[in-house]
Chain A
Amino acid sequence: MINRLNIKIRSWLSNNQWSIIIRPFDGGTLIEIQDPNFRLANPVELYLDIIIKMFSEYKHLVLCQKIDEEQWVIGIREQFFTQLQRRYKLSTTLLEDFTSLHPPQETTSTYIFELYGDPRREWLQEVYHIGGFNLPNILYGFNAVPDNLLVEAANANSIFMEWYRLKEPDNELTKIFEYMNILAWTSDAHLWFCIPQSRSLENLIDFVTDLAHKYSLSPNIQWIS
């Protein structure tokens, strides 16, 4: 009892609240992991821990990362991407938008960098960024590799963007599960997951609780029906 009270007082004093909102809908579950309020630190490391945990059940991962070279200095574009391909054996492509299949113009500094590989932290931490845009990235996890991954990722992105722009209800997101097994994205510095209803949340909650201890946070898990 005293110990609990002590933890509560300490978390209140240090303002280490960390909110996680879980919202089930017909066919799936939405999980919003907010950026913790701890000493203005960068939450990327924390987010990568959760992404690796959530995607570890799947063999493959596609990351669609929006890049603005004027905000994020990557040096020479070709050199950066070639190094990533060689070092981590990734398939990469550049697209002009999330829903496009066309390459960006040579002169533009803003484009989508799409990577396909196994879910590993080593390469994700070099590319995964959360700032610069309100929707900087979308991630998909899957086991069976489709015939044309690029087209299916663009289809899934189109469905997602319609929902994200408030044009479609939540249950439209379940169409993505025809192509992919799990969907994640970062929006306004919050990490989101959309998982099928069949997937259990117990592992995630246990993991998040442990992670909160690691980062000295006080988790606040809310269920919204």
Chain B
Amino acid sequence: MSPPLISSKGFSPSSVETPVSALKLLMQLAPSAASFAPTNPKSLPSPYPTPAKAPPRKESISRSWVSSNPLPPLPPDVINVLGWLQKNVNVIWRHPPEFVKGMFIQGRRVIQVDDPHQGANFWHINTDLKILKGINHKNIEPLVTKFVAIKTSIDVACKGLGQFARSSTVMMLERIPMPILVVPSTGPNWPKQKSTIQ
């Protein structure tokens, strides 16, 4: 509790010495005098209506993690995809609780992609999880090769479709000499007063 500014015997000398206390005293004694005191401009009421605040959005852990750690784009060829997997698919349960101890064979790797070495002369998956033992040390090269082939064919097909769409519709229409271009007036996104353009 702050000490009283005015004692029963008059002004308290200690309180008058400080400028902040003096300002408070002025505000108490004469409210009009307080208007001369410097004020924080942020505390002034805004002349504009306050915009309605959007409700706070609940961001899940996965969403915030993805937004803070975006994955780099997938490279197009098999070797680089494998390298990409080795760099990015690296899930280790660090500082795990004690009760998960029985789920692992000592280490805490959930899934990792490993490059070829002695004993496993191919790209493979490593895991310490007992339940995933079936996929441990399995060759992933054929799977990645198939995936890259499918992705490449989809990319080529989509690119071709896009080129066809651009060249056959828009580009061709631009090349046709048309004196008047009729624009439908009933479209939902068109303003009605511009039903025809000459």
Contact = CB atoms under 8 A, between A and B. Distances in A.
Contacts of A134: 112, 114, 117, 126
A133 B136 CA distance: 13
13 contacts: A42-B106, A70-B95, A71-B107, A130-B105, A131-B106, A132-B108, A136-B107, A164-B117, A165-B117, A187-B118, A187-B119, A188-B114, A189-B136
Given A71-B94, A131-B128, A32 B106 contact: no
A25 to B, nearest CB: 12
B105 A71 contact: no
Contacts of B108: 70-72, 131-132
What size tier do the contact residues of chain A reach?
A: 20 to 34
Interface string B88-110: 00001111100000001111110
Nearest to A189: B105
B125 to A, nearest CB: 10
A71 B91 CA distance: 12
B81 to A, nearest CB: 20
Contact of B109 (A44, A129, A132, A135): A132
A48 to B, nearest CB: 13
Interface string B124-168: 101010110100110000000000000000000000000000000
Interface of A: 32, 40, 42-44, 68, 70-73, 129-136, 163-166, 187-190, 192
Nearest to A109: B94
A195 B162 CA distance: 62
B107 to A, nearest CB: 3
B92 A188 contact: no
Given A71-B93, A131-B109, 7 more contacts: A44-B106, A70-B95, A71-B94, A130-B106, A131-B106, A166-B117, A188-B120
Nearest to A160: B118
Contacts of B128: 131-132
B107 A72 contact: yes
Interface residues of B, number: 27
Contacts of A40: 130-131, 133
A40 B106 CA distance: 12
Interface of B: 92-96, 104-109, 112, 114, 116-121, 124, 126, 128, 130-131, 133, 136-137
Contacts of B105: 42-43, 130-131, 189
A72 to B, nearest CB: 7
B117 to A, nearest CB: 6
4 A-B pairs closest in CB distance: A131-B107, A132-B107, A131-B106, A70-B94
A40 B126 CA distance: 16
Contacts of B112: 134
A154 B107 CA distance: 25
Contact of A163 (B118, B133, B136): B118
Contact of A188 (B95, B96, B106, B126): B126
Contacts of A190: 119
Nearest to B119: A187
Contacts of A43: 105
Q: Point out which of B112, B116, B119 has the most chain A C-beta atoms below 10 A from its C-beta.
A: B119
B106 A132 contact: yes
The winner among B96, B104, B131, B137 for most chain A CB atoms within 10 A is B137
Nearest to A136: B107
Task: Give the one of A40, A44, A72, A136 with max B CB within 10 A.
Answer: A40
Given A40-B130, A70-B95, A188-B137, A129 B107 contact: yes
A174 to B, nearest CB: 15
B59 to A, nearest CB: 26
Contacts of A42: 105-106
Contact of A72 (B106, B116, B136): B106
Contacts of A163: 118
A32 B119 contact: yes
A32 B112 CA distance: 22
